[in-house]
Chains A and B, each alone.
Chain A
Amino acid sequence: MKLSSSMAYGSSAEMMFGFARKPVETKQGLTIGGGYVIPEIVPHPRPGSEKTIKTLLREFERANFDALERCVMVGHPHLVVENEHVYQMTANPGWGGEIAAQSVRQTLEFKDKYGLKSAYRSTIADIRKPDMVNLRDSEPTSKVLESFNECAKYSDIISIESLGGKEISDYSLIRNDITGLLFAQAVLGGRDMEWLWSQIVKIAKKHDCIAGGDTDCAQANTAMFMAGGFLSKDIPHTLAALSRAISAGRTLVAYECGATGPGKDCAYENPVIKAITGVPISAEGKTSACAHPDLCGNVMGAVCDLWSNEAVEYNNMFGGSTSAVFAEMLGYDTAAMNSAISLGYQKEYQACLVNSDRYRGPHGFMLCPDNAWLIGKAVVDNNESMYTRARAAADKCGKLMLGDPLLRMTAFEKESLLSYMKEMQSLPDKEEDFIDLCLSKYGKVKGFKPASYGL
């Protein structure tokens, strides 16, 4: 696999929501990244419904139907429906397939009946637990691959939130250990993704399905959530930002293996990915408050192509089911963006989104298009290895944060950041040396198996 060496955009000024350098067209004629932003609704089944395939089919049938119906009710022109697998849907690959088949049928019915253009994404659950099994050779591994096969038969898009490296990143995170995060996310995560995604892309091709993308949700989002809002003090926001910068090089591997986008919604690293690859991306922010609080609720919309709610449990609200309500909200969000495009105000609208969150916190800051582009540039300019590009990205991210006086940090966060920067400087330059160092340092962490990563 060749590591990316160039940027898809000459500068961040060229990046805009709704426009991707390499748009992706779905079977029903939706062009993702083709000049407009599309809402992506993600309903989640209620606990208990996963007990049998029958109850699960019924749950998704209702949830997906409600979203599609609401789009028609209020006049939203397009929609992507994503179903993230609960454990049982991947552990029984047939279940995921049946649900995908049913959901695609639903989207076609709405197309036939009302002309609503929609697409369906299956996100397979990574049921390989890194601390329990060999990621490359285990029963769960074969279920995951089998599941991709089943879903690709019907779905428009397939994706996954892969877990490679999580056993080390969890360990490192509570210890504020940047070296461990680099090793877990870049070296281990990157290797696992290369192994996994080369197979996913083949499966997608076989079934004429779109290989969407991945996310470092398991690691960078864990860091982001633990850093929390302005009241949490356990993990510095600056560490979460560095973890995000590191995650870019990891998630990039999917596209280097041949994935085409749209990327996964919860990959907050996606602006960097888009800057490097030009693939369309999904993003989430204010309208995913149903799933978690966020310090970058608007800025995440600045360069998105799909706009998602992350996940909302299927339940009733005054305004209808959650699935319907969130589809409506996402649709209005994107309608405003598309109006801006249509009026030629997209630059101004993007400036509004960016200014909302640029200095709200480190995460919002580094994911502004200009900074995301610069971090992407550090990734491609240091492409000797997955490690070197991740370290360069983290270093760039740290320097950007320290270099802009308008980004204010608490003393704790700044001190922490300076110490991470110092620690990264002291690390070896070559990936082999870094791996040797980490194998001796983390070799005994519970459940860590170098064989999972071909080490």
Chain B
Amino acid sequence: MSRLAIAMDIGTSGLRAQALDLSSRDIISTVITTRHPLPGANVIDHIHFALEIGLETANRIIIQAVNRIILELHINTEKVVRLAVCGNPIQLSLFQGIEIRDLAFAGKRKLESLGVVSPEREAVITATRNIPGLNLPAGCDVIIPPSVCHEIGADSLAMIIQTGMLEKDETSLATDYGTNAEMALLHQGRVFTGSTAAGPALEGQQISCGMLAVPGAVSDLNSDISCQRLIVLDSEMIPAEGPLVDMSDGSVIDAGSGVRPIGITGTGTLAIVLQAMESGLILLPCIRTMDSRLHLTGDIFFTEDDLMNAGKAIGSVRAGHITLCREAGIGLDDIRTAYMSGASGTYVDPVKAQKLGMVPPRVKTVFQVGNTSLSMARDLVFDLSKLDLMSSLADKLREHHCLFAASDTFKKVFILELSYWTEGMPISMYRKFLKKYGFPDLPPPGATPEIVHTVKRDIDDLGRMGLTIIPDIGGKVRATMEGCTACMNCVEECPENAITIIQEADSAAVTLDQSLCSGVACRRCERVCPHKCFDLSRFFCITSEELATPWE
């Protein structure tokens, strides 16, 4: 009887998992979710939720989501003997249900006043029975890799290991282009790490028409004479030629291969910014069209606020790179090789990313390596010794981790970025300030680097049973609010359209989609309620039996 294993990446913007055959080492099936099951759009929202509603509830929601994913892998779970999960410290802690407050507050004074003791977060192999609620055989091993510190976790270790950068003797830089962009600079045997809160723009969020990488998403633009050819992800998530448009008014010149665009991904956002800057439609910080917007087709547009959000994200990555170089005592132009990981890092055109400043200017080679977190989890289930490798690397990384939020270098450079993107400060002045501060220079990009795609898409091999996408990972929960008159104010106020109300005989039933909800930092539904009877926590402090739409 063949033994099976599951590799899982718990990402902030969604979960991905693969079922594997341990003897043949084949990938059987792949499941991804389009959202994270917890309310909110970033890790801080997730952690905030756990703080206010309760760690146990957060843990339970994640475990339920994991169970649903396991179900959708369509394998005989009785045969599963190993589950490896990879992700950042917050996600892994929420999965394990351990202390998270040290991750919630970066300030020491606050932690001391709360009396928080940080857990070690070392590598663990435990049995399913120790993770309550997990629908796998009791004796199945659950492998949880170690973290370096609160900002750098197993996902970053995965990036450093899976790129293979450590095995080469050259100055190289690996970056995971996500909401939190983690980066690692290797120079003369030392690894310098950092993590910057780039914001969700690089994942296509906080952008008017932004979305995650799903079929129909615009992932790139190619300049075609005076117009832009939209590159749209097809049903297999492979980039295909979409319509040819004039961005100044969105007029469509030809329809291309017929894939209809529905939104813009993070990489699409970067391409829009670059192409519009190059064609003069953007003159920072303004969009120079009649309505101060760029148009990809009739209903997909890009605003000056979007430009500002994208600029801040791009800028924080570049500021991180410059900061790490200063820590290592080298120039940006000393970096020979760049590794780009994460969904954005895989789909983005490296040359465009370089022109925008997200890839060091003088690299000779760029590797696009895909989702390293999932491939790390895969390696872990096949080879448990990789866990030791991760642990020893974690120890090594603790020596040279740079906390950007406390770094004077990072702050100064980020202010230069802010000024460049939002005030239109010329790049010449940017460089003048770098010189004045004694920071590494920012030369313009050199010769086009060699591009090596180690994968064709984010997840390279989907397995013989292929890909399943779960669009509705969050539970829909129903609750009755005493005093509710079904005035619908909360339904209208909700920015994510997560609430529905059904008027029943003598009361009203309110339903919330947990994964659509913006989280406890929002609570607009509560504030708008005229009877003050709306209680957001009611949707979470219940057992799974009360789910309005149980998963089939």
Contact = CB atoms under 8 A, between A and B. Distances in A.
Chains A and B touch (C-beta atoms under 8 A apart): yes
B227 A444 contact: yes
A444 B289 contact: no
Nearest to B224: A444
Given A440-B225, A444-B226, A445-B246, A174 B251 contact: no
Contacts of A174: 248, 288-290
Interface residues of A, number: 13
B246 A175 contact: no
A442 B281 CA distance: 17
Interface string B202-242: 00000000000000000000001111000000000000000
A446 B290 contact: no
Contact of A171 (B226, B252, B288): B226
A445 B226 contact: yes
Interface string A165-183: 0000001001110000000
A441 B280 contact: no
Contacts of B251: 446-447
B220 to A, nearest CB: 19
Interface string A438-455: 001111111100000000
Contacts of A444: 224-227, 244, 253
A441 B225 contact: yes
B225 A443 contact: yes
Contacts of B225: 440-444
B279 interface: yes
B522 to A, nearest CB: 38
A234 interface: yes
Contacts of A175: 248, 279-281
A26 to B, nearest CB: 42
Interface string B53-84: 00000000000000000000000000000000
Nearest to A445: B226
A219 B133 CA distance: 71
Interface residues of B, number: 17
Contacts of B244: 444
B392 to A, nearest CB: 56
A171 B226 CA distance: 10
A445 B249 CA distance: 11
Contacts of A440: 225
A176 B280 CA distance: 9
Contact of B288 (A234, A441, A445, A447): A234
Contacts of A445: 226-227, 246, 253
A446 B248 CA distance: 11
A175 B227 CA distance: 12
Nearest to B280: A175
Contacts of B253: 444-446
A23 to B, nearest CB: 44
B226 A442 contact: yes
B226 to A, nearest CB: 6
Instruction: Kindly name the residue among A174, A440, A447 whose own CB sees the greatest number of chain B CB atoms within 10 A.
Output: A174
A278 to B, nearest CB: 40
A88 B231 CA distance: 43
Contacts of B248: 171, 174-175
A175 B248 CA distance: 9
Contacts of B246: 171, 445-446
Contacts of B288: 174, 234
Contacts of B226: 171, 441-442, 444-445
A326 B279 CA distance: 45
A442 B253 CA distance: 12
Contacts of B289: 174
Nearest to B245: A446
A444 B280 CA distance: 18
B32 to A, nearest CB: 37
Nearest to B254: A444
A144 B46 CA distance: 66
Nearest to A226: B290
Contacts of B281: 175
A444 to B, nearest CB: 5
Instruction: Kindly name the residue among B226, B248, B249, B280 whose own CB sees the greatest number of chain A CB atoms within 10 A.
Output: B226
Q: Which 3 A-B pairs have the closest CB atoms?
A: A446-B251, A444-B253, A444-B225
Interface of A: 171, 174-176, 234, 440-447
Given A175-B248, A442-B226, A444-B253, 6 more contacts: A174-B288, A174-B290, A441-B225, A444-B224, A445-B226, A445-B227
9 contacts: A171-B226, A174-B288, A441-B225, A442-B226, A444-B244, A445-B227, A445-B253, A446-B252, A446-B253
